[in-house]
Structure 1
Amino acid sequence: MSRDRFNMSRRGFLARLGTSVAAGSLAACGDDDTGAGTDPSSSGTGLDLERNPPPPAPAIEPPFALGVASGDPLHDRVVIWTRLAPAPLESDWGMPAEDVPVIWEVFADEALTEPVRSGWTRARPALAHAVHVDVDGLRSDTPYWYRFRVGDDHVSPVGRTRTFPRPDASPRAFRFAMACCQKYRSGFYTAYHHLAREEDLHAVFHLGDYIYESGGEPEVPGRLPLDRERVTDLAGFRHRYGAYRLDEDLQEAHRVHPWIATWDDHEVSNNYGSLTLAPNRRGDGDPAAIRAAGYQAWYEHMPVRMPFPDDPTFLRIYRDFHFGTLARIFVLDSRQYRTPQACDDEVGPACDEIFDPERTMLGHEQKAWLVDGLRHSDSRWNIMAQQVLFGPFNLDYSIVNPDQWDGYVHARQQILDVLAEPDVHNPVVLSGDVHAAGFSVLRADAEDDRSPVIGHEILTTSISSGGDELDGIARFAPLAEVALDNVDYVEAGKRGYALCELTRNRLDVRFRVVTTVAAPTADVYVDRAYRIWAEQLTFERRRDWEDEPPG
């Protein structure tokens, strides 16, 4: 496939890239039904093609410029997604302000000769003509291929997905990747070029910062300028997602693997907490309105299984998945319910506020859901997929980032207390956010280096954020492996993803990094690798899996 994905629309939307996006609202779309979850044709399995054929589609330009995606796999179903947008960077994204019928088809073979499920749904302007179909009635632990059609003329790329094993099954292995932090103007999605070619992945966990609300000129030659400095409304967020999703490598990673996504802060506003903007962002506008716009745009562009609420200021995204009896995965939301950051959100010596026992990262309901799920889990491994660095990284609180779990000391210890319970087997925390790769142990008492190891944390570096320079926690990284007993590895100058394989007895992780994100293609190699042994809660570095950096 040509890298010139931007020639897909005859309307030449990239020629208009610098044009400001007109302000938009749901009311202006001419559709006052914004509740995707209330209509079986806009989420769920859709309408039957034989008994209830779709009406004629309006004449539109080729609508699949943003590709296809799948996500949230269960043992008998998976969500498939697309968004009709012939010109994603125009104010109307090249679509009429009316419902458009979309046919979807699922096949058992790559040649598309064995149809399994099909139907049609309505792409609605109120949700930017996004389509979420929860395809049920599928076989467990099975690959499938899918596509969408609009009218007689437009057929989407063919996506590949797969279901998870049954909750009572005993699969041999669970193979997954971790990704986060993909600032468009900081570099190319070189890492996704390679992640899309990883074989036999059951899922990609995206841990947030899928977009960045900030815009401006590209930091590397060849990236396109974004439309404005910072977006705060729905039209702006849609434009930002449109620019990101036009990237060919990101589209391919979505097309070939099912994703399980959560958000972090940049999908709304840097370092926001609950309904409070960071101190340096409080002039941006109404926090509730900004959050509602960011949440709606995230929903519109993610292959997720959840009804869209009447009020998008509140959108529950925490959820869990069973991969047979091998693993239970808890996907968390550490933004929507947290107490706003302590210490005026300044990185520096700890202030008294971070030790306040009333401070929460997850909120009462999500924490209760997580604790109950962990205590009643029969899975061999229990995985928390979440956004920010969980374990201590504070050099005896002389340097604290209050946006991380270090700023929520009691809330973290309460979770560690549960992870330390004997019936919670082999806990692993997956984290992102700080633009660094890392590997560390979790201790029963985060404040005591002599307390027993109860689990491990795997930190994936950014896809592109930070570019080829040291970034994020880079200024602390040289000290971390020496000064922090819990940290075995931290690398803040390389971009990539983490590749994991989990069996009953061990979890293997390879930190895959690219040589540069200043170019669309580059070499990829394993910078560090580990094996975690189940039940023993020990690990070993696997130098035999690691590569010398190319060149």
Structure 2
Amino acid sequence: MMPTTPRSRRTVLRAGLVAGAALTATGTLTGPALGAVPTRSSAPGSAAPGDPFGLGVASGEPDASSVVLWTRLASDPTAEDGLGGLGDRSTDVEWEVAEDERFSRVVRRGRVRTGPDDGHSVHVEAGGLAPQRDYWFRFRAGRAVSPAGRTRTAPPAAAMTPLTMCFTSCSQFEHGWFTAYRRLAEEHPDIVLHLGDYMYEYGKGGYDAPGGNVRDHAGPETTTLANYRQRYGQYHADTDLQAAHAAAPWLVVFDDHEVENNWAGNVRELPVDPPGDFAARKAAAFRAYWENMPLRAAQRPRGSSMRLYRRVPFGGLVTFHMLDTRQYRGDQPCDDEFGKDCPSRTDPARSLPGSAQERWIADGFAGSRARWDVLGQQVFFSQVDFTPGAGRGFNPDAWDGYPGSRDRVVDGWVAATERGRARNLVVLTGDVHAHWAADVKRRFDDPSSPVIGTELVSSSITSGGDGSEQKKETAATLAENPHVRFYNNRRGYVRTRFEAGTMTSEFKVVPYVKKPGAPVETRARFVTEDRRPGLTPA
């Protein structure tokens, strides 16, 4: 998402201008239990200095028999070398998984070793678990014991177990407090999806919220591995974010700010600002991202390449198709100027996810046996004309910058439904710092075109500051786009409930983020019925 004062790299041009090894372990019930878990404050802010588990714990990538357990050791989260105050030392870390919160019924236990090559991070792929049940996990390093986290395995294949899922995006540390993460944790979801812009790359004051920032980034703009590790350390030290990670397993994908604003494939935002090799910057960013997320070894980056798109099934009810809309895209059209249109935008050869990923999406639809197929992705999928009246203007960084690519994805979906395979399409989106809901049409320029799916767009956790209920220009935009059913400019997240016959979506907001402790409120509620795509207010 572009900052408040956007920089167009094309405008500047015209003006003259990894290898982190996964720590994977099979569980064995040997050795002593870890002992009592110390009590930690639930107040917002940063964890206490000196605690090696001050970055919290997380889990992710659940299937019916395993889950990834994550932590990263750091006694000084914002150390300039990115190593969290632990330097070059290596550490043995014990872990255990239990059936109860008191850890009286431990079912898996093991030990791994981490050090500077991994950014002192730990990734355990804990297997041998039962499907469709809650577990609790924790770690120990020396005498220090981590807080406990809750995780949950997926149901067995074909099970239609209802699923509560929350999703969100865009948490700019400087723009506000992460209260929405804590409110999300209080929903007790079965799974959380984060759709990108987990952290922001700017140095202190490089991206100001309206009315000013309330916190400062540590360190300069992130360009090196040490910079990215330091920035993730600062974000992970936030106790509201830790609460969300400890509440449920996560599925994550990055967007642009985990590297730099509006990057596209091998094309950076600006040609010389900041200086340096872009491939090296991407390699550092990908490595730090993997180190700091509960991802499997299969997602470990190889230099400046990272296979992030993947499918995660939850029984027979939901399949999550997690997309990567950054690494393989062509450069944005129309000089990447928001609200513009140009002939190159409609070139059908251009692709947002890349041709290989487009085929992978179509293959997933063609082989689907899920009741709900969910695309977890980053940028607005539905068409949005931002120019009222005559003329048209689009966001070239979204799917509107690549409409031929969108048409191929939609046609793949329609072909699968005609063969009786795919059934309900749901697109989840982040990026735009506001809540939106839209009916996905087969062809947006054809008023008679049928609705073939549902798009839910989550607002940001903090990006954009407190926000407002509406923007003054919104009414004209909505009138231009009748398939858009809802808009709200507060911060927050979306809570969804998947059942065999319905998907219920609730748009949650916090009224402010520039001070901590905001309550959560529901701004809209919709129901989507099985085989009846689109949104019905509830």
Do these two structures clear the TM 0.5 threshold for a shared fold by scoring above it?
A: yes
Partner of 1:213: 201
Report the Cα distance in structure 2 between the residues aligned to 1:35 and 1:308, rounded to whole angstroms: 11
Change (3 A) 1:297 1:61: same
2:339 match: 348
Aligned residue among 171, 190, 215 for 1:182: 171
- Residue 515 of structure 1 is aligned with which of 497, 511, 514? 511
CA displacement at 1:482 relative to structure 2: 1.7
What SS does the aligned partner of 1:191 have? helix
Whether the aligned pair in 2 keeps the contact of 1:480 and 1:487 (CA below 8 Å) is: no
How far is the alpha carbon of 1:223 from its aligned partner? 4.3
* 2:26 counterpart letter in structure 1: T
Residue aligning to 2:6: none
**Cα deviation 1:355-406 (Å, max 9, x = unaligned):** 1112111112222111101110011111100000000002576211110000
Q: Which moved more, 1:379-388 or 1:440-449?
A: 440-449
**Equivalent of residue 157 in structure 1, options 147, 157, 163:** 147
2:502 to 483, 487, 506: 506
Q: Distance in 2 between matches of 1:375 and 1:221?
A: 49
Which residue pairs with 1:19 in the alignment? none
The residue type paired with residue 209 of structure 1 is D
Matches of 1:310 and 1:294, distance apart in 2: 10
**Alpha-carbon distance between aligned partners in 2 of 1:222 and 1:105, rounded to the nearest angstrom:** 40
Q: Which residue of 2 aligns with 1:404?
A: 398
CA displacement 1:295-350 (0-9 Å, x = unmatched): 11111110111346573300101111111111111000000111111111111321
Distance change in 2, residues 1:238/1:475 (3 Å): farther
Distance of aligned partners of 1:48 and 1:89 in 2 relative to their CA distance in 1, 3 Å threshold: same
User: What is the CA–CA distance in structure 2 between the aligned matches of 1:284 and 1:482, rounded to whole Å?
Assistant: 43
- Return 233-242 or 86-95, whichever deviates more: 86-95
Q: Pick from 180, 183, 191 the counterpart of residue 191 of structure 1.
A: 180
Write the distance in 1 (CA, Å) between the matches of 2:114 and 2:216: 29
CA distance in 1: counterparts of 2:313 and 2:25, whole angstroms: 20
The residue type equivalent to 1:420 in the other structure is V
Is residue 63 from structure 1 mapped to residue 57 from structure 2 by the alignment?
A: no
Q: From 56, 62, 67, give the equivalent of 1:73.
A: 62
Aligned counterpart, 2:533: 537
Corresponding position: 1:385 with 2:376: yes
Letter in 2 for 1:400: F
Number of residue pairs the alignment of both structures matches? 493
Q: Give the whole-Å Cα distance in 2 for the aligned partners of 1:536 and 1:222.
A: 44
Give the Cα–Cα distance (whole angstroms) in 2 for the partners of residues 315 and 46 of structure 1: 27
Aligned-partner Cα distance in 2 for 1:68–1:332: 25
Report the alpha carbon displacement of residue 465 of structure 1 after superposing the two structures with TM.
0.1
Residue of structure 2 in register with 1:43 after alignment: 24
CA–CA separation in structure 2 for the residues paired with 1:474 and 1:362:
31
The aligned residue for residue 358 of structure 1 is 349
1:204 and 1:260 in contact (8 A); partners too: yes
- Cα deviation for residue 72 of structure 1 reads 0.8
C-alpha distance in 2 between matches for 1:135 and 1:529: 37
Query: What pairs with 1:116-265 in structure 2 (closer than 5 Å)?
Result: 116-151=107-142, 153-171=143-161, 173-199=162-188, 201-217=189-205, 223-265=214-256
1:278 alignment partner AA:
E
Structure 2 distance, partners of 1:147, 1:521, is: 27
Could you tell me which of 448, 453, 465 is aligned with 2:463?
465
Partner SS state of residue 302, structure 2: coil
Q: CA deviation at 1:290?
A: 1.1
CA contact (8 A) 1:214 1:231 kept: yes
Match of 2:280 in 1: 289
Quote how far apart the aligned CAs of 1:444 are: 1.2
1:306 partnered with 2:306: no
Equivalent residue in structure 1 for 2:410, among 416, 422, 428: 416
Query: Residues 307-326 of structure 1 correspond to what in structure 2 (within 5 A)?
Result: 307=298, 309=300, 311-326=302-317
Residue 229 of structure 1 and its aligned partner are, at CA, apart by: 4.7
Amino acid at match of 1:459: V
State the SS of the aligned residue for 2:360.
helix
- Counterpart-to-counterpart distance in 2, 1:186 and 1:206: 18
What are structure 1's unaligned runs of at least 5 residues? 1-32, 52-59, 543-551
| TM-score, length of structure 2 as denominator length | 0.87
Asked if structure 2 preserves the Cα contact closer than 8 Å seen for 1:209 and 1:267, the reply is: yes
1:62 Cα offset (Å): 3.2
Name the CA shift for 1:430/1:156 in 2 (closer, same or farther; >3 Å). Answer: same
Aligned pairs for 1:93-132 (under 5 A) are: 93-132=84-123
Check the 8 A contact 1:439/1:488 in 2, yes or no: yes
Matched to 1:84, the amino acid is L
Q: Please tell me whether the aligned partners of residues 143 and 160 of structure 1 are also in contact (alpha carbons under 8 angstroms).
A: yes
Query: Which residue number corresponds to residue 488 of structure 1?
Result: 485
| Cα shift at 1:43 | 2.3
